[in-house]
Structure 1
Amino acid sequence: MKSHWQIAIALGLAVLVGMLVPSDSRVFAACGFVGGLFLNALKMVVVPLIVSSIISAMSTFGDAGALSRIGVRTMLFYTATTVLAVVTGLAMVNLVEPGIVDGRPARELLGLASGAGQLSEHVSSAKLSDVGDVFYRLVTPNPIKAAAESDLLGLVFFSMLFGIFAARIPGAAGQVQRDFWAGVRETMMHITALVMRCAPVGVFALVAKAFSATGADAIRPLALFFFATLGGLLFHLLVTMSLLLAVIGRVSPLRMLRAMTPALLTGFSTSSSAGTLPVTLDCLRHRAGVSERVTGFTLPLGAAINLDGTALYECAAAMFLAQAYGLQLDLVTQFVIVAMAVVTSMGVTGIPSASLVAIAVILGAVGLPLEGLGVLLAVDRVLDMCRTAVNVYGDGCGAVVIGRLEGESDILSRPL
């Protein structure tokens, strides 16, 4: 049985078991243990895989013009899709108006006046004080520390610089560097393949544990907001990205969905774009047929800065809370929310409670109190799983489109 079917079956069984098994049972504890092992195995390969993939990809660019061309195209594509995602979230919340109940703001129903102190203290302790911090974190003072803390922004930037200058070293010394990092990358791909053999078991354990802890209550509160956001995420994944694949990439969106199925299911179950990176790389290289030259650059960069689902969620959450408070936001304020969602989504990777931190920045920019963050926690876990899948799919679409623009003609032409 193919891996994506194994994962899909494990996902369905996990939902069923999670609904039936109480959270104080031994099965729940066993799922937590097995799921934790799987997550640790994924995280184990992320940093060396990112570093070796980027350095190896950068070191193959003997032509500086080719490197700058791919870099510019990748950044333009990722920025454009993030903006489209945010605008989709904005439109969905304005259309559905989940913060309005029976024509009145839902502030009292949601109990927004309570619990502000603890959340404010939690958010203020995070290391994202302003938008400028996003760019400040690009240049890490200690690459080893960045690797230990999984600070992908600093790690990606350092690895890109290392690979670029490794390509310029002449003679045997340069070849040794290129061969070494290519060998590390190959080794990490084999380790990743070993980890992925355990993916169905890991996915089952993680999802069963999540549903056992929350049950059906995870989607009952804030139902309108939940479904409005979920609708926006589905629209971006199935409509927006399909149009970009068909028009710019000239490939079949259905074949892309099939090729990315293992990565989408892994991203959904783990709620980690970075943790899913090994699976995404495997899907794009072996199932979609994108070259290592393109995937080694676009996918690690995308895992660090291209979070379409996160950006959409941030914008939708800020607008929902504004409606709940009864605020009528003008176009200028809504534009500020869009801009802040785009920028902060590119800089929250690796920060604990990243979405809450980013939403806090947006709320502060438009003058909303931080107490509104508390009401989001009821549905944040399930939406986190959904938006991570969208993040992963956006990275994969970026690799396919850039590969096609670079003249790779056999992408998505292999039988799946």
Structure 2
Amino acid sequence: MKKLSLTTKIFLGLALGIVVGLFLQPVPDVASTYIKPFGTLFLNMIKLIIVPLVFSSLIVGTCSLDDVRKLGRIGGKTVAYYMFTTAFAVTIGLVLANLTNVGGGFSIPTDAKVDVTAAPNVIDTLINIIPSNPLKALVDGNMLQIIAFAIIIGIGIIGIGEKGKVLFNFFDAFAEVTYKIIGVIMLYAPIGVFALITPVVAVNGPAVLLPLMKLILVVYAGCILHAVITYSITLKLFAKVNPFKFFKGIAPAMIFSFTTASSSGTLPITMKSAEENLGVPKSITSFVLPLGATINMDGTAIYQGICAIFIAQVYGLDLSIGAQLTIILTATLASIGTAGVPGAGMIMLGMVLQSVGLPMEGIILIAGVDRILDMARTCVNVTGDASCAVIVSATEGELNMERYNSTIK
């Protein structure tokens, strides 16, 4: 087992968890009571380090750029890439949903209920990016505010020159401590993945999945197509690199995000994989990946497009081309408007349905399998974050090509 790579160990944990979950379907409480706590412990360890990691690494990453103009250039490239791929993702979702008639033959349940948190106003979200109380933002884990505060501190350190080196060295050492802790936590990852996936399979199982299998298959197909086509093309076009090596290098983060359905929870693994496997420098990963984990939602955008068409077809409603263009625009902007909000996928779906006049009650149709869909869309979100880091590094001339190409067989 010691000779196996982390990717292989995590995959084995995932596969074993699925098998054990199927075996425990008659007694799902066993999985929830005795196995799930080990997964919860693993997630708690990851959550323990997320805020210190994001805060310290963003400050170090900002300072490492050593030029406010370069910071603005990299930030512009990052946001532009995220917005473009999100718009393309929701378009893929809409096309697939229309071609497959995803909502055909589905009956509407009348007794189901689901609570959807009110979506925040986009303008309010943008205003609230700057925290009035940065310590409260750190305690609450408000990622957008933490990112803004860290970047402001980093710019301040750059601004005072030599006097800021002491503070930079402190955060640099603190970031290294978080990386070391992550390395130790990752030794437990295969067990954590096993313990997280087992109860999901045991509790849901085929009985819940089969009635909505068509929806699930279309969402998964959209996620796979977007990852394989969009990211491969952008990597080849902008970074001039081998896409196969990219997917191989980011595989640990993809598997882990699929299991946990948490972009933020996967962030330490995404950063580690991007740096060690793909040759992305820390100065880029420390800036691009935390930002992506907060605002980049390609997989969620695919989910929005497919589910909107699904709900419209179930209710016998036709969506015009104009309405579908509205869905693209709304889902793209909502990826920022709902950043850092728990249950962002469901909130975004509510915003999309409202934008084109579809019944909000339609959300109840997919609430039962939302966790299954969340696994795929989170995996795509994380993959998109990493592709952006590679592209930004390459366009800045900072991608370590020797490391990137070192494991191609």
TM range (shorter): over 0.9
Q: Deviations over 1:370-398 (max 9, x none)?
A: 11111111321111111111011000000
Deviations 1:270-295 (A, max 9, x none): 11000000000000011111101111
Q: Which amino acid aligns with 2:139?
A: A
Query: 1:10 is matched with which residue: 8, 13, 22?
Result: 13
TM-score between the two structures when normalised by the length of structure 2: 0.94
* Residue 391 (structure 1) aligns with: 381
Name the stretch that deviates more: 351-360 or 263-272. Answer: 351-360
* 2:50 alignment partner in structure 1: 46
Distance 1:276 1:23 in 2: 30
Residue equivalent to 1:414: 406
Query: What is the CA distance between 1:166 and its match in structure 2?
Result: 1.5
Give the aligned partner of residue 185 of structure 2: 195
User: 2:141 is paired with a residue of what secondary structure?
Assistant: coil
1:341-383 alpha-carbon deviations (Å, 9 max, x no partner) = 1111233343232211111111122222211111111321111
Give the alignment partner of residue 84 of structure 1, picking from 82, 88, 98. 88
Residue by residue, what CA displacement relative to the aligned partner does 1:119-166 show, whole Å, maximum 9, x if unpaired?
3xx32xx35243333323322322222222222122112211121122
Distance 2:208 2:192 in 1: 21
Q: Is the 8 A contact 1:237 1:393 kept in 2?
A: yes
1:306-385 correspondence runs (5 A): 306-385=296-375
Tell me how far 1:218 sits from its aligned partner. 4.2
Distance 1:348 1:194 in 2: 32
Q: Deviations over 1:93-116 (max 9, x none)?
A: 111111223xxxx4xx122x544x
Q: Is the 8 A contact 2:102 2:309 kept in 1?
A: no
- Aligned with 1:110 (options 108, 111, 129): 108
Specify which of 148, 153, 163 is matched with residue 144 of structure 2: 153
SS class of match (1:98): coil
Which of 120, 123, 130 aligns to 1:139? It is 130
Q: Using a 3 Å threshold, how does the CA distance of structure 1 residues 305 and 133 change in structure 2: closer, same or farther? A: same
Does residue 298 of structure 1 match 2:302?
A: no
* C-alpha displacement of 1:23: 4.0
Deviations 1:192-214 (A, max 9, x none): 11111100000000001111111
CA deviation digits over 1:169-218, x for unaligned, max 9?
1333x011111111111000000111111000000000011111111234
Offset at 1:318? 1.5
- Provide the rounded CA distance (Å) in 2 between the counterparts of 1:55 and 1:24: 44
CA contact (8 A) 2:303 2:377 kept: yes
TM-score scaled by structure 1? Answer: 0.93
Match of 2:341, SS?
Answer: coil
Change (3 A) 1:130 1:327: farther
Rounded to whole Å, the distance in 2 between the matches of 1:377 and 1:133 is: 27
Query: How big is the shift at 1:10?
Result: 0.8
Contact residue 18 and residue 212 of structure 1 kept, 8 A: yes
Distance in 2, matches of 1:246 and 1:164, equals 33
List gaps (5 residues or longer) in structure 1: none
Give the secondary structure class of the aligned counterpart of 2:159.
Answer: coil
**2:390–2:399 CA contact under 8 A, matched in 1:** no
Percent of paired sites with the same residue = 34
Partner of 2:204: 214
Equivalenced residue count is 402
Q: Mapping of 1:9-88 within 5 angstroms? A: 9-21=12-24, 22-88=26-92
Instruction: Give the equivalent residue in structure 2 for 1:287.
Output: 277
Q: Deviations over 1:215-253 (max 9, x none)?
A: 123421222221111111010011111111111111111
Inter-partner Cα distance in structure 1 for 2:135 and 2:290: 17
CA distance in 2, matches of 1:164, 1:218: 51
CA distance in 1, matches of 2:224, 2:28: 34
Determine the structure 2 residue equivalent to 1:273. 263
Matched position secondary structure for 1:220: helix
Q: Which amino acid aligns with 1:414?
A: S
Answer yes or no: is the 8 Å Cα contact 1:49–1:188 preserved in 2.
yes
- Report if aligned partners of 1:156, 1:304 keep a CA contact under 8 Å in 2: no
Distance across 2 between alignment mates of 1:36 and 1:349: 24
Partners of 1:260 and 1:349 lie apart in 2 by 23
Report the secondary structure of 1:60's partner residue: helix
For 2:314 and 2:122, locate their aligned partners in 1 and report how far apart those are by CA, in whole Å: 26
Structure 2 gap segments, 5+ residues each? none
In structure 1, C-alpha distance between the alignment counterparts of 2:124 and 2:302, rounded to whole Å: 21
* Distance in 1, Cα, partners of 2:71 & 2:374: 34
C-alpha distance in 1, partners of 2:14/2:208?
A: 17
Instruction: Tell me the distance in 1 between the aligned counterparts of 2:283 and 2:388.
Output: 14
